[in-house]
Structure formats: structure tokens, C-alpha cells
Amino acid sequence: MDIWSWISELPNSVEWNQSDSDSPPIFELASYKQLGDDDSTRSIYLKAERTFGSDSEPVVTFMVFLQGFHPFDTQKPLWVSEKCTISSENANFLPLLLQLLQEIISNSPTAHDSTCPRSQLQKLKPEPIAWIIDSHTPESLSIFFNLVFTIRFFWLCACDAPSEAGSLYFHSLLAPILETASSKKLASVLRTFFITVGVDTELCFMRTLGYIIAKWCIIRELGVGLQTLVPTMTWRNPKFSYAAESHGFWILKGYAPVMTMKLARSNGQKTKFHGLDAKESIIRYGMAHHQLEAHVQLEYTVGFFDGFIQVNARVDNIRLHVARLGFKHGDDVDFAEEKHFPSRARVWVGPEIGATYVAGLSLGRSTENNEREVEIEKVVKGNFEKSTISKVKASAKSSRRMKTRSWRMDQEAEGNAAIFDVVLHDNMTGQEVGSWRPTGDDPGHGLRGRCVGANRPFSKSGAVVIAGDEYGEEVGWRVSKEMEGSVLKWRIGGEFWVSYLPDQAKGSHFETRYVEWCDEVDLPLIHGKLL
């Protein structure tokens, strides 16, 4: 399915005049033959229809039609695009891509705790989108456009069309896109797109994609014949992440629908939706719409000295948030407080593998050696009575106090890569949550009410922020002086874990999942670039 190539190869105005205007170009998006008495074919088409604008300039309008889905009116288009100008030399399809992106943002599912309603989002400016079209190869742009087109038509096929059209969407439209979702070419275009349009649009886009993938996973889990709607494919774990260097920061961002994350451990109970009681099914269905959103921000500095270059880095922010997609803010949703929560983050940064220009790595945080305060109190009581023997009573008591924290932060090294490790521990048991296997029908733990109270390990929304004021020790590399004036590639990546333990509801289900991302950022070793 290469929609962009088909659109790009449409005839110009001169060729269109010479062709049969009664037969507009049609592209078959998807189709299948219904086996039965009539052996009818059900199809989704994209049609390009030429008209004339207000100034008699030829324009092309794109329409999506359904055929064979009874009783849907085949004469009524499911969707109509804005007009795109065509000339004797070329065509301008920027309005089409801009419209698709704007409609994705306008229809994006909200996160339950979002503070940025869709109504407050500004309209996309055409200049950044035009630059994306002009600066990428046709192949990369085609993959990006196909993804945008498919995301936009989720709502139409799933909500505004017959149910069979929704089935065809999941089987024939969404499947090929998810197969290519992890390609480097798509990642490059997405990175450019997110940087040029800003973080608010990025969140809307990725939450829409995460919501669609969540529905995909739910259908796969439901079984009972519904899994035939989505074909088996090699796609397993989409790498929706990117890294960038900006204003003295190395930034790594990643998005992962929780159901696509690898299962690290669980209590071995049923992971499918069928076979569960009503309450457990509601909880599992709600948690299927969770998405991990990770933001790692490392501050780095470069110093030039006689004989070497010193590169330092420190944690500025590690922000982990599990967004619950699809529910509007303020909705009274049963078991809404039951959600996954971050339980560990392991971030690494350092030179590319095999680099010989680094002389050494220095860590800035010693392995924590907790001190325990021991308080001993002795009490001596005497009692003198009128007797030949005096009575003396003595007692002693001792108490021990030890400070505990929910999150433990360590530094490690692997070769020339520095590792920042942040691990959540249960205050009640002292166990590391990500590797814990609680037992019992309703395991007791110190993480009930984890988003309420003064000593909660998370924010009210269930997020966690590790900032530089708490994890501020620097790591440093000494780089050969010969590298001065060059821009090196520095690798940055991480593993991120989310866990689930019952919060307000009673139950025995628990699980831990993880995802890994890795990318490259620039390290400019140029005087005046950084001080």
C-alpha cells in the first residue's frame, strides 16, 4: 500500500485534460471477497477528482468511498479532502498532508490527567510540514504519509463505517503500517516532524497511535475468533523513540503502549480477557489502554584543557509517566485508579562502541552505604526499704531508626558508557518492585495508595520525576585532544520497567513489563559551542 506514490504520480493538468475525465483515478486501499451465496467483494477506495477553483485554476479533491458494504450508501463519500492545486508542471499536496495531521490532533484521545485540551491546540503551520516534504526522500516520505493516512482513518473505519469496514481496516490497512513502524526511515521522519511541530502536537500524535495499537492488542487478546481480524505478523515491539541534542541537553524520548512491552514476570495467571470475572475484565480492559511515556534529559558540558578535552554529563530530568488513554478528564470510570506504574529506569550514555578516543570514564556517585542510627536507653531504678536487704531494679531498652527511601539511585559503568540506574523499592518489604514475585490471593504490600498521602512514591497522576537536585552527580570522560573541532556521535539509550500491583481493588494479579530504546546524539567538540 503506497498511497503517497500513487498521489505523486497523478497526471498534471495538461495530461488530465487529455485523458478521459469520466474515469477519475481510483486507488484501492483494501478489499476482500465475502464467501457465500453472492460472493460479493467489499472494498475501500481512494478517488482523485479534478474540479476547478474560484479562479478557474484546476484543483484535485480526494475522497474515500466504500463499496459492497450494505446498506451503506456507496454514493456517499466517507471522507473528503481539502482542494489541492495542480498545474502543468507539478501539484501541491501540502494541504492534504496538513489536513490529515490536523484532523489527527483534533480527534486524539485525551489522557485522563491531561492539562492541554484539544481546543487549546493551535493549528499546524504549513511551513514545517512543507520543509518535511522537501527534505526527505520519496521512500521515507511515503512511509510517513502512509502512517499518517492510516492513523487518520482509524476513527472513520472504526466508528463511522459498517463493522465489516472496521475489520477490513485492522486486517489490511493497519497491519502493513505496523510492520514498517520500527524502520529507521520512518524514525528519521518522525524525529524531524516532532522537533518541528513541538511537544504538544507530538503527544497528540503518539497518544492516537498508542490508542490504535491498544485496540489492536485487545482484539488479539480477546480471541473467540476475533483474532482472525488481525493477521499474525513479525511486528512485536515498536521502537517509537528518538534522541536529539539541543542547547546543551541530550534528550531521549520514547512511547510504548504497555501491552506491546515485553513481559518480564507475572503471577502466571490468565493474560487473556476471556475467562475472567466481570470486575477483573474491567480492570484489565482499562489497563490495556496504558502507554508509557519516557523523557530523559541529560545536561552535558565540554571543557578544553592542555592535552585533553573533558566531557561531563549529569541527570537533569528522568520523567516517566503512564498515560491512561481514552478517558475524558473527570469521567467516573470504574477502577480508574488501577494502573501500571514505573518501577525502574536504567539509562546509559557514552561514546559509540569501539571508540578509541576516550581515555577514561569517571563516575560521580559512590555506591550507597546506608548508616543506621542506634539509640540505647538505660534506666536504673532503686528502692530502699526498712529491711536488711536493699532492693534495686534495673532495666534497659534499645531502639533502632533507619531512614528509607522508595527510590534508590546508583551509577555504574559498562566499558566507556555511564549507567544511571533508578529502582523502586517497596517500603513495607524492602523488595525491589520490578523483580518481586508476591504470593497469596491478595498480596499485602506497601504500594497501596501509591498516589495518595504525604509519603507516596509517585505524583498524584502516577508519574515519577528524578531531577538533578536529587541525582545531580556528574560523570565525565577525557577525550583525546585530536578530536577537537569534530562532532562525535554519542549513544544514549535505556531500559524502562512498569509494574502493576492492586491499588484500591482486591486481587492477585501482578506483572512487570519492560521496553528498551537506543539512539545516537551529537557531541560537538568545538570552541564556543559549549563552555
Which pLDDT tens digit goes with each residue over 355-407? 899 988 999 887 776 655 656 666 665 555 555 555 555 566 655 555 557 88
Q: Do 419 and 346 meet the contact criterion of CB atoms below 8 Å apart?
A: yes
Q: Percent of the chain, pLDDT > 90?
A: 35
- Residue 396 main-chain phi, psi, to 5 deg: -140, 145
**pLDDT above 60: residue 270:** no
**pLDDT at res. 265:** 85
Return the pLDDT at 227.
45
Q: What is the pLDDT of residue 225?
A: 45
**Contact (CB, 8 A) for 206 and 240:** yes
Q: Which of 460-469, 485-494, 514-523 has the lowest mean pLDDT?
A: 460-469
For 54-102, the pLDDT digits (tens) are: 666 788 899 998 888 877 766 678 899 998 887 766 678 899 999 999 9
Task: Give the pLDDT band of residue 531 (cuts 50, 70, 90).
Answer: very low
Decide: 252 and 499 in contact? Cβ < 8 Å.
no
- Give CA–CA dist 455/449, Å, rounded: 10
Give yes or no for residue 302 having a pLDDT over 50. Answer: yes
Report the helix count and the strand count for the chain, using DSSP H and E.
10, 20
Comparing 273 with 93, which gets the higher pLDDT? 93
Q: Which residue has the higher pLDDT, 451 or 303?
A: 303
What is the pLDDT confidence band of residue 486, given thresholds at 50, 70 and 90?
Answer: very high
Q: Which of 181-195, 318-332, 468-482, 509-523 has the lowest mean pLDDT?
A: 318-332
Q: Which cell is 399 given?
A: 531502639
pLDDT of residue 170: 84
pLDDT in tens, 138-167: 888 899 999 999 999 998 887 788 888 888
Average pLDDT, the chain: 81
Which residues, at least 6 apart from 253, have a Cβ–Cβ distance to it below 8 Å? 194, 202, 241, 242, 243, 294, 295, 296
Q: Greater confidence, 391 or 284?
A: 284
Residue by residue, DSSP assigns 201-270 as HHHHHHHHHHHHHHHHHHHHHH-TTGGGGS---S-----EEEEEEETTEEEEEEEEEGGGSEEEEE-S--
Q: What angle do CA 368, 370, 374 make, to 5 degrees?
A: 170
Give the residue-averaged pLDDT of 440-464: 71
Task: Name the most confidently modeled range: 179-183, 353-357, 459-463, 479-483.
Answer: 479-483
Mean pLDDT score, 324-343:
75
Answer whether residue 279 shows pLDDT above 90: no
Backbone φ and ψ of 318, nearest 5° = -120, 110
Tell me how far apart the alpha carbons of residues 474 and 300 are, in angstroms, rounded to a whole number.
Answer: 9
Which triple of cell numbers denotes residue 446? Answer: 506497601
Residue with cell 486507488: 27
Predicted pLDDT at 291: 94
| Percentage of the chain modeled with pLDDT above 70 | 76
DSSP state of 435: G
Cell of 241: 523513540
Q: Select the more confidently predicted residue: 319 or 384.
A: 319
Per-residue buried b or exposed e for 193-227, using 16+ beta carbons within 10 Å of the residue's own CB: bbebbeeebbbbbbbbbbbbbbbbbbbbbeeeeee
Residue 69, exposed/middle/buried by CB under 10 A (0-12, 13-18, 19+)?
buried
Whole-number Å distance between alpha carbons of 149 and 400: 63
Give residue 33's pLDDT band: very low, low, confident or very high (50, 70, 90).
Answer: confident
Res 110: pLDDT:
72
Q: What is the mean pLDDT of residues 118-140?
A: 82
Rounded mean pLDDT of 400-422?
83
SS (H, E, C) 146-208: HHHHHHHHHHHHHHCCCHHHHHHHHHHHHHHHHHCCCCHHHHHHHHHHHHHHCHHHHHHHHHH
pLDDT for 325 beyond 80: yes
pLDDT of 51 reads 80
Q: Identify which of 104, 30, 26, 28 has the alpha carbon closest to the alpha carbon of residue 60.
A: 26
> Where along the chain do its domains lie?
3-98, 238-367+404-531
* 222-252 tens-digit pLDDT: 754 444 555 555 455 566 899 999 989 999 9
Rounded to whole angstroms, the Cα distance separating 118 from 114 reads 10
- Bigger pLDDT: 331 or 526? 526
158 vs 521, higher pLDDT: 521
Q: What is the pLDDT of residue 329?
A: 53
